Structure 1
Amino acid sequence: MTPMKEDYLKIIFELGGASEKVSNKQIAISLNIAAGSVTEMINKMVEEGLVNHEPYAGISLTDSGREKAVTLVRKHRLWETFLVKKLDFALPDLDVEAEKLEHVTSEKLANAMDDALDHPKTCPHGGTIPDRNGHFDSESHLILNAVEDGKTVTVSRFIDNHDLLTYLGDIKLDIGDQLKVNKHDPFEGPVLVTNLTDKQDLTIGYKAAHYIFVE
């Protein structure tokens, strides 16, 4: 399987495609690629039995696609956790290293890391880590951009993206922070929020607001 298809499997899993349908637009924004490219790749993955695609409804993982995604996500997030807990890596630097390491990691090594880390449930950016039997805790798939004005939510996880994590570090937005959504600017403008935890007003870009999951 090509690295690009693996990236699709992982992002569809992150967006909730193991249990519900996600849109082409969500995938395109999350991978920062054109919608037409997503359609082309999804058609190939349908032919290979990795995803289901219902026009106007969305995309979800097949049993085969889900199994492959869970294996990839588990190894990736275990490495991220190891790099932070054992080697003091900064969050923005995790994805590139974990991306390389996951491809050369056997199931035996993944299980050994899991034991050494005392079976972590989540990775450093809040994503659930499947166990060795493929089971994992449920997680929120509600993105900040979809929250109605006036609502208060709690940040639960971030998509694993170097630029995003650098940006969130700069504005000091952390997992567990409570946010009050004040306003969505029109025409794909930013989301204006108040970080109730830090008592700071923040302006979060349209794309970044699709990478932040809340509950």
Structure 2
Amino acid sequence: MVSSNNRLFEVLEYIVDLVLLNFLFIICSLPLVTAYPAFVALVGAIKDMSEGNQIPAWKQFFKNFFTYLKKGIKIWLILVVISIIIIGDMMAVNYLPNSLQNFLLPFNIIVAFLFLGIFSHLTKLIIMGEYRIKVLFIRSYILLFRQPLKPLLIIFIYSIIISLSVYLRFVPFIIAFSFLAFTCYFIMFAKEHEINNS
């Protein structure tokens, strides 16, 4: 009975930490330029928390945030420019004739998948300690082709979380961003952590 109570308290403490990290992410993302470093810090804090690091989650978040801030802003600006080009291209396709739209639609889907896949692997590589921007993008691109299912799974789960957040309007402010970061951690790191421990 005592062990089950301890387990319940551990789960509740984990949920409270996720809610706290969610609010810290929102606050640190308010100047939109820092949104990506804040997300990497969030994933890193959840990784440390899940793997038994004794540092409080909020302290780990701020430690990660200031570690990743400079490079994270540069990477975020590159990602924003690329996403604007992709979105602009998708919008421009709508004004083309139907035959061209049908031809370019698969191309746009592939480009969007490549972008989201590289984004997923970038986050992992930054947390693992790679800080050179050019190397980050090249290794992310290579990892995307070695492990294409991980980003696909992340995109699928992100879509579910975002859809639920739209219908359950209060959820995004409570824990939705932490769920997104936990998904990224679980798919990108958790299995490797289990293999290393066994």
Instruction: Using structure 1 for the length normalisation, give the TM-score.
Output: 0.28
Instruction: Pick the structure with more helix per residue.
Output: 2
Instruction: Pick the structure with more strand per residue.
Output: 1
Greater relative contact order: 1 or 2 (C-alpha under 8 angstroms, separation 6 or more)? 2
